[in-house]
Amino acid sequence: VQLVESGGGLVQAGGSLRLSCAASGFSFDDYHIGWFRQGPRKEREGVSCLSAADGSTYYADSVKGRFTISKDNAKKTVWLRLNDLKTEDTGVYYCAASRRNSGGDWYRRARYQYWGQGTQVTVSS
């Protein structure tokens, strides 16, 4: 099982990035995919999730209206579009996979079985 994030970088406030998460080694269609981030001296927090069950999307309040999650099952890739970036969005962004029948809230780390290594996003003022 492998999740590989890419697309991070340094961007000015107000700018945009598109993060990618390439999955392999498991049945992609059967997993919810979440994005988490960990800022400096902060706990890792849930940012967004895309449900395997019905394609529903979920977002943290802090990113609603600015971030968009999407996926391509054929490519086994999930993207997170980050618009109107703020300095507080700085952090390492991780994608994670959770089995379809996993319980718990989408933003709970314990729900996810597989994690990528992360990609750094730095937003300058």
* CA gap 103, 114 in Å, rounded: 15
* CA gap 16, 18 in Å, rounded: 7
Task: Supply the mean pLDDT for the chain.
Answer: 96
pLDDT at residue 10 tops 90: yes
33-86 residue pLDDT tens: 999 999 999 999 999 999 988 899 999 999 999 999 999 989 999 999 999 999
* CA gap 75, 46 in Å, rounded: 24
* CA gap 88, 90 in Å, rounded: 5
Looking at residue 29, its pLDDT comes to 87
Stretch 106-124: mean pLDDT, rounded? 97
